[in-house]
Structure 1
Amino acid sequence: MTEKKATLALNDQRSVELDFNAGSFGPAALDIRPFLGEDLYTYDPGFVNTAGCESAITYIDARNSVLLHRGFPVDQLAEHCSFPEVCYILLHGQAPSREEYDRFTESITRHTLIHEQMTRMLSGFRRDSHPMALMCAVVGALAAFYHDVLDVDNAGDRELAALRLLAKMPTVAAMCYKYSIEQPSAYPRNSLSYTGNFLHMLFAIPAEKYEVDPILERAMNRILILHADHGQCPSTTTVRTAGSSGANPFACIAAGLASMWGPLHGGANEACMRMLEEISTVDRIPAFVNRAKDRHDSFRLMGFGNSIYHHFDPRAAILRKTCHEVLSALGMEDNLLQVAMELEHIAMTDAFFLENKLYPSADFYTALILKAMGLPSSMFTVITAVGRTTGWIAHWNEMHSRPLKACRPRQVYTGEERRDFVSRL
């Protein structure tokens, strides 16, 4: 809906009348589409103050630290839902009935296997390859195995693509991990829950029976839910941009994986663990904290503060609770976990951290939980990508439920003016 209008006066005495496009709630956006007829466009590096789409999936109130999925507070979903239930909510907009949930989870279960040729394809990569590199390659290669899903305008085809991706991402993630540590892959077990099966594929070995720890299963369930979607972040925008061309959905998700890998996005939890490794022992913490307080020092404490929220990350409170549950169950012998807990204490009590709102973030607690589970830091972004897949699919499906428009941002050209070519050879 539209509300009041704004008039933009230009230097050449022209004026352009613009509408305000208001969502269901939250700030209204100035509709700049009339600029197209005036040979004008806006300059917003990183699109940090530009709405590139309308979406009914996730709402973020950065000022008040609110995160809603289809209107449901994320903390309620993390406390009361299974991850497939949240997947259903993100994809369909409403909580499922028992019949809908059973049918949805049954469909996912029947698509968890990966073609054996995919396993053989992995043998072409180095054993020390980063698992995210393997994930990008394997998920992109799925387009070659499921090229039948080509009609993105067909709701049934999009539903099938969504089920395949949700089902196969944990299998692919575990397969990439097992390859990187030179262990045989574990086949999915359809008798387990979504998160229980994921843990089984990550940690089971053929020589021993693996029993899923309910505390770790609950922790993994919350990690996946709390990373399921985060609005128009870099990876989701990448998926939407790739999808705007009508590209294969597996290729779009592979593009999202590549975008998520960076330390300014999903790779932040891995960067957080590398920072803990650099600090290494509790007695070295004061020196690093002092460096973090020095504005002339390039060192920054990773995992503290958030570039989105003005105060605290609403996901961090539940992950903090989950982190302490896991550490209580598994123990705190690891030096890096002791470093992390001391840093958490400092962040909660030190005036510098409190005044600058440098609270421990979702990335900080996610890193600690996965470290306590026994996973290497190279797997942290992979785990969060498994959770984020449902958000990517929901956004990809949403954009295809409307007339498709190719994403084509403008640029401010700063190169040479027109000139005639003269050979310099």
Structure 2
Amino acid sequence: MGQDTASSKVRRDDSLTVLDNRTGKQYNVPIKHNTIPAPFFKTIRAPSGPNDRPEDESERGLRVSDRGFLNTAVIESSITYIDGDNGILRYRGYPIEQLAAKSSFLECAYLLIYGSLPTRAQLSYFEPEVLNHGVMHADAAGFFRAFRYDAHPMAILTSAFAYLGSYYREANPSLQEYLHEWCKGGPGCTSEHGQADFRLIGKATTLAAMAYRVRQGREFVVPPTGMSYTESFLFQLDHLSHSDAFPTTLTSGGATYRPHPVLVRALDILFILHADHEMNASSTTVLQTGSSLPDPYSAIAAGCASLYGPLHGGANEAVIRMLVSIGSPENVPEFLAAVKRREKVLSGFGHRVYKTSDPRSFIIRKVADEVFAVTGADPLLNTAMALHDAALKDAYFVSRKLAPNVDFWSGLIYRAMGFPMDFFPVLFVVPRVVGWLAHWRQMMLSPEGVKIWRPRQIYVGPSERPYVPLEERQGVEGIGKEPSVVVHSGITKRRRLVEEGSVAKSKL
């Protein structure tokens, strides 16, 4: 640790002094926004030492190692601020608590993408435009029905976002004459941004509903008119018969089904809470992909694939599986003891960023009570409450700052609302499309233009070695050093028996 030698009489100098003990040279690294520029360290060079390999490239300047991006800022952003030590989350400066209590999801979408809460006139344009873009081309039905009956909805949704790019060729900068404008925020770039915003936000619910219904063998539903974003989503999921067919407008009468208002508002709040969360894995993936200038639909598909991973979008599903494995409240003490012995995993507690409590967890706890009041309490609720209370009182978990996060409650809400567990990450993707778009758009409109992301690596493999002829090679065995043995299906086994028999006969 560095020693604080500063005093009130010393003039502040926003720089970092670095002494390279290899050469004795001293460098002053500028500090801006409490950040030092990593490229500066490329200027710190030294001759190769006795312990250096040629692959260390000492004479080409220092590299910065940060496995997993634990403390590397990859972009300047004005979208979302998180203070993990104090449990603060703000969208464009607005506390998440105020937005969840007073705003709607599409208002927050406007805020995240365009930088300010919309006026009534701005919202009256934005909201209908998003909803009108929810309709899919008729050919999409064939695309969705091409998947296996048991395909995971996230696999379908990821493919569907990429599928959109095949419809909107004007969104692909490689096919346009104004490619340079995409790199510098020109008119061709900004006009297509608006189209992509409306299409992706509007169609996210439609694609998700189609992925849901194809698994059940149901016909697809055209998005209704006159409903809010989340209400339209629930309608597309649950519309069953012609008697439920929604009229052209709400005032014309004749509708027999409308989603429950408590569930509509609960889902709207959940969408607000999940709309963005700064530089998480999927948002970073969207920017990494987008930096090579594909169409935005491909970038969003990449983000969807990233969120599919159980370390990101599957956390609330893991909570439900954990609670099911615990069974009943009386089994909680033994489960926590097993967690301390590192025999079990405690899901839904702690966070990569939040070191105290997740501010979203307090909001979602209230939402859970409102949902359970109309759906009935989930049988797992008592187990969840027992686990919640026991963990918060246990010094082992308190000392490690393992407080409940948003995933602890969201899975219980989705389960109470009747969603299957493998659909939970889809309910994460739909609102997160807004955050992905906000970050993608911010990068595309950067005054400095778009520069492809190209991280460095530290090469620790073999140095140069001569080619060895096939007959002279020594086999290298072990996990990761050769292909694993594949257990083939029955048809392959039966064919192999015939082939092996043919070979045996040929040797006779």
Once superposed, which parts of structure 1, at least 4 consecutive aligned residues long, lie more than 6 Å away? none
Unaligned runs of 5+ in 1: 23-27
**Counterpart residue number, 2:347:** 302
User: Where in structure 2 are the equivalents of 1:106-121 lying within 5 Å?
Assistant: 106-121=128-143
**Counterpart residue number, 1:70:** 92
Greater displacement, 143-152 / 398-407: 143-152
**Counterpart residue number, 1:160:** 195
Confirm or deny: 8 A CA contact 1:291 1:299 kept in the other structure. Answer: yes
Greater displacement, 281-290 / 96-105: 281-290
User: Where in structure 2 are the equivalents of 1:42-61 lying within 5 Å?
Assistant: 42-61=64-83
Q: Tell me which amino acid in the other structure corresponds to 1:255.
A: A
Match of 2:269 among 207, 216, 222: 222
State the distance in 2 between where 1:120 and 1:340 align: 42
Report the secondary structure of 1:21's partner residue: coil
Greater displacement, 178-187 / 55-64: 178-187
**Counterpart residue number, 1:364:** 408
Report the secondary structure of 1:116's partner residue: coil
**Counterpart residue number, 1:16:** 27
The structure number with the bigger radius of gyration is 2
Q: CA deviation at 1:3?
A: 6.5
**Counterpart residue number, 1:269:** 316
State the distance in 2 between where 1:204 and 1:301 align: 37
RMSD over equivalenced CA pairs, Å:
1.7
Match of 2:120 among 98, 109, 116: 98
**Counterpart residue number, 1:394:** 438
Confirm or deny: 8 A CA contact 1:16 1:35 kept in the other structure. Answer: no
**Counterpart residue number, 2:422:** 378
User: Where in structure 2 are the equivalents of 1:96-245 lying within 5 Å?
Assistant: 96-151=118-173, 152=182, 153=185, 154-206=189-241, 208=244, 209-245=256-292
Q: Does 1:86 align with 2:132?
A: no
Show CA shifts across 1:136-161 (max 9, x none): 11111111011211344411111111
**Counterpart residue number, 1:407:** 453
Match of 1:423 among 446, 469, 484: 469
State the distance in 1 between where 2:240 and 2:116 align: 38
Confirm or deny: 8 A CA contact 2:307 2:429 kept in the other structure. Answer: yes
Q: CA deviation at 1:40?
A: 1.6
State the distance in 2 between where 1:9 and 1:349 align: 47
Q: CA deviation at 1:382?
A: 0.6
Confirm or deny: 8 A CA contact 2:282 2:304 kept in the other structure. Answer: yes
State the distance in 1 between where 2:151 and 2:381 align: 26
Match of 1:32 among 35, 38, 41: 38
Q: How many residues align?
A: 416
State the distance in 2 between where 1:47 and 1:345 align: 33
Confirm or deny: 8 A CA contact 2:14 2:32 kept in the other structure. Answer: no
**Counterpart residue number, 2:248:** none
Q: CA deviation at 1:354?
A: 3.6
Confirm or deny: 8 A CA contact 2:158 2:304 kept in the other structure. Answer: yes
Report the secondary structure of 1:30's partner residue: coil
Report the secondary structure of 1:29's partner residue: coil
Q: CA deviation at 1:348?
A: 4.1
Q: CA deviation at 1:292?
A: 1.7
State the distance in 2 between where 1:37 and 1:348 align: 49
State the distance in 2 between where 1:256 and 1:15 align: 42
Match of 1:341 among 357, 361, 385: 385
Q: CA deviation at 1:349?
A: 4.0
Q: Between the two proteins, what is the percent identity of the paired residues?
A: 38
State the distance in 2 between where 1:44 and 1:352 align: 29
State the distance in 2 between where 1:180 and 1:166 align: 23
Confirm or deny: 8 A CA contact 1:239 1:253 kept in the other structure. Answer: yes
Show CA shifts across 1:76-127 (max 9, x none): 1111111000000001111110000110001112100111212211222111
Confirm or deny: 8 A CA contact 1:313 1:362 kept in the other structure. Answer: yes
Report the secondary structure of 1:60's partner residue: strand
Q: Tell me which amino acid in the other structure corresponds to 1:35.
A: F
Q: CA deviation at 1:356?
A: 3.4
State the distance in 2 between where 1:149 and 1:242 align: 15
Q: Does 1:251 align with 2:257?
A: no
Report the secondary structure of 2:171's partner residue: coil
For residues 137 and 13 of structure 1, do their structure 2 counterparts lie closer, same or farther at Cα, with a shift above 3 Å needed? same
State the distance in 1 between where 2:272 and 2:435 align: 10
Q: CA deviation at 1:358?
A: 2.5
